[in-house]
Structure 1
């Protein structure tokens, strides 16, 4: 295996001067790497900021804010479980040996580091439209495998930006796709908004996820983001390879959990219990039953049946259908739990932040203040900004939608803006600011071996570069 040559760019030629985008990205990355705290400390700092803001701006007392914080910890346990299942079902499917092998073959396609980064980014954003948990894990694995292949083949690929590319699905396209929290919540019968009288009935997915507005936004966003990733990518000679972040001795050991699925024909199970646990017949039967139920619902109710419960149900049984053996499927879920550990730890803290923001009135104050200055023409931008601001403190698309949703919908009604368009505009802000808040990057950090501060300078650079484009797209794309 030949180490990368980071001093020259091919044939002994001098390394060309960096462009303006590369210089800006490098400068921002250096600052963030020096100053950014860990994700857990990030959540603690945000908790104190909201605590003080509630006292100063809403007049709540310290004891009240502490009570709001405690109560908030337990408000969304059911939703937290749904989000964890989305992540874990995505993890299990992503680490199937055939899928993992396909990713390794894809890493051989790029001819240089810039192409490698763009390929990982486009892949991550496209898959996120299908399933955000699948994208988060697949994007992380793809970034790591691309870094390994580039190092092995002597290609200069900047690993921090490769990791950002693997995270772009969560940072851009996920909340307009098939596993999008806010649209799916509105399309779930008996949801919080119906019970509260905010809407009269479900808002079908045809008005949100499958609207031409959302689809055009997704396609153009992927193209524009790919261009910015290309422009940010350092030229050969200024890259930092994967070996600067992952111990080279362990880098090419297969510790990813992607070992081949044991061949049922080559193993023997001595006891009836072992035979039942590993029965492909039983596993396949229940898997096909679940898949058939998904097909039945989609055939009878159309794409509007695609809500949060059906997403989890579909991917849960799709995973069992792929792995077949119940015991082996359970083992893979055990591995998935490790990837979800950071989110499980931090979710209650961010739920506590949401509890303070909601109960003290901070969320409503932010939303009402922004919507008060909106017009029918600027409303999508205001909804985007509101979603982005609150997502910084409550990085849960569905959790913050529960808080912001009523204000967004009521303001949209007042301006004559379709609820579907308003929901997608909010979703853009929620996804976009994931490039600033490292909460959802925790599984990616664990898989890639990189630290948040080592990659988030480039994530923030992408956030800044995409801001003008998104502002224009939200207004100019017809609904």
Structure 2
């Protein structure tokens, strides 16, 4: 049944979903028009919001570009390629490949969202080289595991409210992760998704005559030094230089974790880079891998500033607050976590940032939870799951994975649309009744 349902969804998306860059331009216009019509903002004021916020994500854009680049460089090292090949060999059929990549992506995303985005896409590439399977669904399956990230160990909202001195500590106190990430309802959602996401992906598998099979392009041969190496060539081929710097970086990581430090995007990127330096063996090999990796980063570089502009319009015009208040108005103590989930999902299309969403929605949702007598921790997790949920149809987060896979958003979003419907029912039901 899901295979039959996915066919029209895939055709619809392939026909009407434009390139991710065109989509962000359209979202910019929609946000600007809504700010002028709903919030009665003057056109010049909206223009200033947009332009003033345009470069607000420069640091984050660089982090995301490094997720792509360092992940690719690590995956292209001989030891990691061999490990991925051995894992991929476990998948003997297309169905097994889909289930395996889904489980790997879910697990990696639960540990850390940046890690999950890269690992899932790279594993999909490796599987595509060994199993004849629909490449679009394979990459969609890798990306679909990302849906669990905000309920996992790196969830930005539950970790924020568990931190002493967070910006709403006077209103809600410090909320331990035992009431959010490790709460019974959240663990139930995760358990259900770890079962359903792989199964739904497997059930959408096209028949052999409908499958779009694509083999990853072969990697170029490793660069060789010139026959008569100069001193500069010897430095570029120096294993000692690479080992000294890479092992120093690994030493820093060991000290970081032994000192109680956790995983975040900077640590993930640092770890990927230092391991790549060590495992490539020489600077020359690392730079050759970098040259390959950087080609896929154009979407991140050009699109993230536009999303920063959209976020500025949504927040500064009051649109984000208006959306949240509309859902709060129809909620009671039992349903507020569910409506915070829906509000978070809608807002995420325009403000694809978990921390950014919480900054907008928390001043509305937390007082509402207090007034209605709702569980404030569960309301916060409703916002978190809403943010994670609609990432399935928001190309913002898919850009690194798509770049690694060599696909466009329209290639995978039809399958992700089906996952959106299934996971939405599961998460929403759990927030209402558990």
TM-score range, shorter chain: 0.7 to 0.9
Secondary structure at the aligned position of 2:398 is classed as helix
Matched with 2:357 is: 400
Residue 46 of structure 1 contacts residue 393 of structure 1 at CA under 8 Å; is this kept in 2? yes
Structure 2 counterpart of 1:128: 109
1:467 aligns with 2:424: yes
Distance 1:423 1:279, change over 3 A: farther
Rate the CA distance shift 1:136–1:398 in 2: closer, same or farther, 3 A.
same
Residue 146 of structure 1 corresponds to: 127
Q: Which residue of 2 aligns with 1:430?
A: 387
2:213 to 220, 237, 242: 242
1:72 matches 2:47: no
**2:327 — aligned with what?**
370
Sort the Cα spacing of 1:199 and 1:319 in 2 relative to 1 into closer, same or farther, 3 A: farther
Residues 116 and 267 from structure 1, CA distance in 2 versus in 1: closer, same or farther, beyond 3 angstroms? farther
Which residues of structure 2 form unaligned runs of 5+?
A: none
1:28·1:461 contact (CA, 8 Å) conserved in 2?
Answer: yes
Superimposed CA distance per residue, residues 389-421 of structure 1 (whole angstroms, 9 cap, x where no aligned partner): 111112233333333344344444545556554
Work out the CA distance in 2 between the residues paired with 1:325 and 1:381: 53
Work out whether residues 68 and 400 of structure 2, in 8 Å CA contact, stay in contact via their aligned partners in 1.
Answer: no
TM-score with structure 1 length normalisation? 0.78
- Would you say the 8 A contact 2:333–2:374 is kept in 1? yes
How many angstroms apart in 1 are the aligned matches of 2:293 and 2:170?
Answer: 37
Between the two proteins, the alignment pairs up a number of residues equal to: 434
Deviation at 1:160, TM superposition (A): 2.2
Report Cα offsets for 1:351-405 as digits up to 9, x if no partner: 1111111111000111122123333322222222122111111223333333334
Q: 1:424 to 1:146 in 2, by over 3 A?
A: same
Aligned pair 1:222/2:194, yes or no?
yes
Deviations 1:234-260 (A, max 9, x none): 2344x32314xxxxxxx46523x7x67
Q: What residue in structure 2 maps to residue 248 of structure 1?
A: none
Aligned counterpart in structure 1 of residue 338 of structure 2, from 374, 378, 381 = 381
Question: Given the alignment of the two structures, is residue 175 of structure 1 paired with residue 150 of structure 2, yes or no?
Answer: yes
Q: How much is the aligned-residue C-alpha RMSD, in angstroms?
A: 3.5
Residues 106 and 295 (structure 1), Cα distance of their counterparts in 2 relative to 1, 3 Å cut: closer
Please give the TM-score of this superposition, normalised by the length of structure 2. 0.85
Q: Distance in 2 between matches of 1:276 and 1:189?
A: 48
Structure 1 400/165 Cα, relative in aligned 2: closer, same or farther at 3 Å?
A: same
Q: Compute the displacement of 1:149 (Å).
A: 2.4
Q: CA 1:433/1:413 → structure 2, altered by over 3 Å: closer, same or farther? A: same
In the alignment, structure 1 segments of 5+ residues that lack a partner are: 1-19, 152-156, 244-250
Contact 1:89 1:134 (8 Å CA) reproduced: no
